[in-house]
Amino acid sequence: MNHSGGLIGIVGLAVCAGLVWSPTGLARQPPDDTVDTPQTLSGAADEARSPRNANYSIDVRLDPDSRVLTGRAVLTWRNIAAVSAPDLRFHLYYNAWRNSRSTWMRERELGRGPGLAARPEDDWGWIDVTAVRLLGDAGPQDLTDRMRFISPDDGNLDDRTVLAVPMPAPVAPGETVNIELEWRARVPRTFARTGAIGDFFFIAQWFPKLGVLEDTGWNCHQFHTVTEFFSDYGVYDVRITAPSGWVVGATGRGDPPRDNGDGTSTHRYVQEDVHDFAWTSSPDFLDLTEQFEVTGLPSVRMRLLLQPEHAGQAARHFAATRATLQYYGQWFGPYPYAQITIVDPAWQSGAGGMEYPTLFTAGARWLAPPDIDQPESVTIHEAGHQFWYGVVGNNEFEHAWLDEGLNTFSTARTLEASFAPHHVARRYFGGFVPFVFRDIDWSRATDGNRLAGYRVAARMDAQATPTFEYWPGTATAISYDKTALWLHTLERYLGWEPVRETLAVFYDRWQFRHPGPEDFFAVANEVTGRDLTWYFDQVHGGTETFDYAVQQVTSRPLRDRGFTDRDPETTFEDPLDDRGLTRTTVTVRREGDGVFPVDVLVVFDDGEMVREHWDGRARWRVYTYEREARAARVHVDPDRVLLLDVDATNNSWAAAPRARAAATKWTLRWMVWLQDLMLTYAFLV
């Protein structure tokens, strides 16, 4: 926390105080074409990195007994779109868990069954906006009666996750308005990463949050079960009142808590250039800090709020966060904030594995052997979201693959670079006791990119479909897994450097903005110097699957015979060629609809290797060789460039296949397992 803002900071604070506490002194701002830098709300005097057009000053009080939040906010919003806004639209995410009629709950049931709807009364949550006022020269103008719920995505009249507030007059492009909001919210027992259990509170998506006004109008979707969030950048100045003695962690830099003398304390957190604000509070946290220091990258204060039962895993959390800041920083661009907060959520909180600006939740297990990828994997992933989601702020309602996919790819690469080898583990006895398979190494290509998840869901949706319209049961596979696989395929096809540079340019060009898919594709084409549209059309635009196979291989003695034209007459030759050669015929086939250029490697039994390049377009292709040696092995895509290939088993052929030996080996192990199972149940007789 920078407490030495000096004169600028004092002026800033004074202006801030005026903004927040003197509503009558505020006036509508005239339209302004320039992207101005609003007054910084704390001592920080750094230059605006983002448009800062949605700024929040919030006071919130947590009553842990009733699990009720009482909040008041002043939103300072500048219309940076090219169109006027006749109304303002707010997300009220907590209403997704108001009842089972919400769109979120309906979609959840569609994808995963009705389990959540059966939860007890105490689990449900809600948010009620109790007052909306437009602040202006003439004093506050009450807009509360104008509020109405809308459901722009599905017309579900029972859904209360989007609130529209018609304005007395449209907000013109460039114009700034100040809106005061008051609300009450009941914190749910977690349905989706936000909620409470016991004394652990993880509070996200908790305040009325403005949607994004685009040149085409409001982009303010209802809350859907498979999507996350989208909002504009701004400055958040939040004062959180919680029981004294409770640890509070939040987006941004925190001041020392102020004791209110009534058993509560108020914690102030401020952060510029972020598009969301989350916080957590619990009396149980271990509060640890370390500094990230790597040459060439800005220093970052890492704060870890750890569950006491994971005290022994503090170093693992810090190491994973450090690896993320280092590798993402060196590959794509530096982390721009001065601090990052890692929250180790309470067991059963359901809050693990989620990202928010400058703060994220990891996820550790009590029994966590050192050579498995938990908590490292989830820590890297969520820390990585600071780059893909936090800094590059794509629309997660519509293009979740942009942050989730890029980040899954980056996570796997970082995990491989920093922690390999990890092993695969399985948990037994209620999921508590891990068994580590030390002969099974974690693989970046298949495990990190989650090929197994993609394989079974490959055709469920085209990635170009707006994410909130994905089939709820398989959305993750399309957003996370497929993107990671096609990016890694691109890395193997073009090389790491072009892909890294693509991501770095995308990061640099679109930081603190809202890019879409076409922006990413344009950067990729520009940086690589290639038109990759053919590729993106397939992996993003369609549901094609890729599957190349060795269909048939024959190696037979050359036995051509028949008439040949030789002077002076046509003669019958048997054989036509008596050099004792073998003709090898290799047929490769494109089983899937997707097209990708692949190599075909033919290895002969004298050790000679021939590598062919096939553009992969035709349904099949034949390669013929006439030589003394016979084919020993054939491999289509021998380097496994095409990680999207959904069936790698048919990619190769061997003259002496070892499937029988392998099957014997594994059958023998399976027999031991079955015998042990029989003996386990023989306990009963």
Partner 1 sequence: MPVVTALLDGLRRVFRAPVILLGATALTVGLTVPLGVLLHGELQTALGEGAVADAMADGVSLDWWQQFASQATGLERSFTTSVIGFAAVLGNLSALLDGGRQQPIIVAVVLAYLVLWTFLSGGMLDRYARDRPTRSAGFFSACGLYGSRLLRLTVVAGLAYALLFGVVHGWLFNDLYELLTRDLTAERQAFAVRAGLYVVFGLLLVGVSLVFDYARVRAVVEDRRSMIGALLAGWRFVRRRPGVCLRLYAANSLVLVAVMSGYAVVAPQTGSTGLSMWLVFLTGQAYLVARLASKLLFYTTEIAYFQSQLAHAGYVAAPAPVWPESPSAEAIARLG
Q: Shortest distance, CB of residue 375 to partner 1, whole angstroms?
A: 13
Q: How far apart are CA 670 and CA 678, in angstroms?
A: 12
609 binding partner 1? (CB under 8 A): no
Applying CB under 8 A, among 57, 76, 251, 307 the residue interacting with partner 1 is 307
Choose between 260 and 664: whose C-beta lies nearer to partner 1: 664
Between CA 306 and CA 465 the distance in angstroms is: 39
In the complex, minimum distance from the CB of residue 7 to partner 1, in angstroms, rounded to a whole number: 46
Q: How far is the CB of 684 from partner 1 (least distance, A)?
A: 6
Q: Which is nearer to partner 1, 572 or 681 (CB)?
A: 681
Q: Which two tokens stand for residue 152?
A: 């722009």
Q: Does 666 bind partner 1 (CB under 8 A)?
A: yes
Supply the DSSP string of 4-54, one letter for each residue: --HHHHHHHHHHHHHHHH-GGG--PBPP--S---PPPSSS--PPP-S---E
**654 touching partner 1, by CB under 8 A:** yes
Spatial separation of the C-alpha atoms in residues 201 and 188, rounded to whole Å = 10
* DSSP secondary structure code for residue 507 in this structure: H
Q: Which of 451, 478, 485, 641 is close enough to bind partner 1 by CB under 8 A? A: 451
Provide the b/e sequence for 70-90 (b: ≥16 CB within 10 Å): ebbbbbbbbbbbebebebbbb
Fill in the amino acid letter for 312.
G
Q: How far is the CB of 667 from partner 1 (least distance, A)?
A: 4
Tell me the C-alpha distance between 245 and 120, whole Å. 30
Q: Under rule CB under 8 A, which residues in 147-206 are in contact with partner 1? A: 197-200
Residue 638 beta carbon to partner 1: minimum distance, rounded to whole angstroms: 9
By CB under 8 A, what part of segment 328-387 binds partner 1?
Answer: 346-349, 365-367
Instruction: Identify which of residues 165 and 643 has a Cβ nearer to partner 1 in the complex.
Output: 643
How many chain residues are in contact with partner 1, going by CB under 8 A? Answer: 75
Identify which of residues 244 and 443 has a Cβ nearer to partner 1 in the complex.
443
Measured from the CB atom, is 34 or 649 closer to partner 1? 649
Whether residue 451 contacts residue 643, with contact meaning beta carbons closer than 8 Å, is answered with yes
| Contact status: 458 vs partner 1 (CB under 8 A) | no
Q: How far is the CB of 239 from partner 1 (least distance, A)?
A: 26
Question: Is there binding between residue 683 and partner 1 (CB under 8 A)?
Answer: yes
The answer for residues whose C-beta is within 8 angstroms of residue 224's C-beta and 6 or more apart is 103, 104, 107, 153, 397, 468
Q: How far apart are CA 159 and CA 223, in angstroms?
A: 9
Residue 160 or 310 having the CB closest to partner 1: 310
Of the pair 428, 572, the CB lying nearest partner 1 is at: 428
Q: How many residues does the chain have?
A: 685
Q: Nearest approach, Cβ of 192 to partner 1 (angstroms)?
A: 18
Looking at residues 19 to 38 of the shown chain, list those that interact with partner 1 (rule: CB under 8 A).
none
Q: Which span (289-297, 391-399, 618-626, 677-685) binds partner 1, by CB under 8 A?
A: 677-685
Which listed residue (633, 641, 642, 644) binds partner 1 by CB under 8 A? 633
C-alpha–C-alpha distance, residues 101 and 340, integer Å: 37
Q: Are strands 359-361 and 339-343 parallel, antiparallel or unpaired?
A: parallel
Buried b (16+ CB within 10 A) or exposed e, 613-624: ebebeeeebebe
| Shortest Cβ 432–partner 1 spacing (Å) | 5
Smaller CB separation from partner 1, 149 or 347: 347
561-580 residues in contact with partner 1 (CB under 8 A) are: none
Site for partner 1 in 420-439 (CB under 8 A): 424, 426, 428-430, 432-433, 435, 437-439
- Residue where the block lists tokens 């530096």: 334
